[in-house]
Structure 1
């Protein structure tokens, strides 16, 4: 169903992929604990994990842009490279599984130098003026006022400013310049679909959107097209999402590390100052949401990663419609009674008395209750 949770067949695909990945990982017997060393810290692992997973679970930061906890290893950005004692080269930690006795280093001078060079190559095809600007901290208060432009040429013009993982990685690696020639791809910004824009001039080809659409949602709306320097994410025959089987669940937007996929409703909004967990009221499924707000006004709703029912996913209604429904000028906020063919606001006591008075005359089988699964909780 369009915009719904994964169908039964899609869930079966997910279970199959999870089982296949578990078999590939060759989980050791539970009585055996794997011992590894990362940056001098001794770590014990119960199950087979990648080096990146083991590091993050133990508070060791390794930069990455293509890895995501819900997706299979991709090793595309190459920023998570590490050094392993006794091995040549710099294997990516997101796709290298820990082995007993392994000694790993994540922050040697040579690693940091390579990471900065790799990141510079990524930035050479991404608007980078603001990312490496020495005065970028001084224009924060003006950033939200200059986004009404057709082209995004820097962070101050990007709808994802402040929510961008690329910004975090640049800060972490302390990149101060890009030594390679910058290239702006001049791709058309896709705005024909509802809810979000697609600006692939900001895309770093991490593959997250393609993989979440295929591995988690089972829709396979997105794919890589072309090759080499012409590679870009797109749909079959470059058709709009409305014509390509998109569920408009927003999963691709949620995993995008840059502003390539951006929620249209957030384009001119500043960052949220509060996040609250709630249950989606739009059907009986019970999906857990995280609602972001600013000064008491809802900005956006997203699926909670730990939701037991929806497992970090949500339908189009829960993802993009909560804000509009809550703040709609047509929303009834007070009880109303129809008098002389017009609805008039009344107190709750008046409304309850009105209903009770009319229900008194009905008894026994004259009373019926109608219930529906889409009714809110």
Structure 2
């Protein structure tokens, strides 16, 4: 029915909710019911909708369709057994990132999210940015590390000169998760693979430098920032301005 001026639309009536219940019941008939052990428990949108509609048990027989889990990606898994074919991941990959690594393949009951040629994610053109994972409403696309942070710290991604804003999720004084700042105009919440998954790797790497080093007797030794800057200033004082060149990163 085309919308017209003055039209009144009721979105919360017994008839409307019954249609919603039927749609969710059909999804649950083809969905694992292991909420207590599911990695998306308490964060699953299907779980929240079912609770909102008062659905506490299956109305239709459970189907026995099983898909192998694609664990080839180093950062997240693709478990099609949880997929509800909402196509959010497909649209994100196409319209947000412009990669188009995945699409809906086949028709009817065999339909599923797949890469070109139905290959594994690691064999596809997937950039591992994780934007599809962020938008997946269920546990079909899920990070390998599903621990929940206890606090967040806002910062700027250190990898390139774009300046993407992000939140570091911290638990037990370790960075375990990264999410983009959707309110920031630079990246609008989007992150690349380095920003989303790289920070958790290098921040706690045992070889990461956390203090400046000065070479003494042929070996590097830790020092303070004041001593390091004084050392640099002293060495530069022996040169003329046109004898000095400085190279810096994009940051």
* TM-score, scaled to structure 2: 0.91
What is aligned with 1:108? 13
Contact 1:198 1:260 (8 Å CA) reproduced = yes
Contact 2:73 2:128 (8 Å CA) reproduced = no
Q: How does 1:1-377 map to 2 (within 5 A)?
A: 99-128=4-33, 154-264=34-144, 266-267=145-146, 269=147, 271-373=148-250, 376=251
**2:66 is paired with a residue of what secondary structure?**
coil
CA-CA distance at 1:249 after TM superposition: 1.5
How far apart, in 2, do the equivalents of 1:116 and 1:211 lie? 25
How far apart, in 2, do the equivalents of 1:240 and 1:340 lie? 52
Superposed CA RMSD in Å reads 2.0
* TM-score, scaled to structure 1: 0.62
**1:278 is paired with a residue of what secondary structure?**
strand
CA-CA distance at 1:173 after TM superposition: 1.5
**2:231 is paired with a residue of what secondary structure?**
helix
**1:223 is paired with a residue of what secondary structure?**
strand
How far apart, in 2, do the equivalents of 1:372 and 1:98 lie? 54
Q: 1:185 to 1:340 in 2, by over 3 A?
A: farther
How far apart, in 2, do the equivalents of 1:358 and 1:343 lie? 17
My pick for the range that moved more, 114-123 or 157-166, is 157-166
**1:185 is paired with a residue of what secondary structure?**
coil
Contact 1:184 1:201 (8 Å CA) reproduced = no
How far apart, in 1, do the equivalents of 2:153 and 2:9 lie? 38
CA-CA distance at 1:295 after TM superposition: 4.1
* Count of residue pairs the alignment pairs up: 251
CA-CA distance at 1:349 after TM superposition: 2.9
CA-CA distance at 1:303 after TM superposition: 2.3
CA-CA distance at 1:297 after TM superposition: 2.5
Contact 1:126 1:184 (8 Å CA) reproduced = no
How far apart, in 1, do the equivalents of 2:226 and 2:98 lie? 50
How far apart, in 2, do the equivalents of 1:252 and 1:215 lie? 11
How far apart, in 2, do the equivalents of 1:255 and 1:99 lie? 32
Residue segments in structure 1 that go unaligned for 5+ positions in a row: 1-86, 88-96, 129-153
Q: 1:174 to 1:275 in 2, by over 3 A?
A: farther
Residue segments in structure 2 that go unaligned for 5+ positions in a row: none
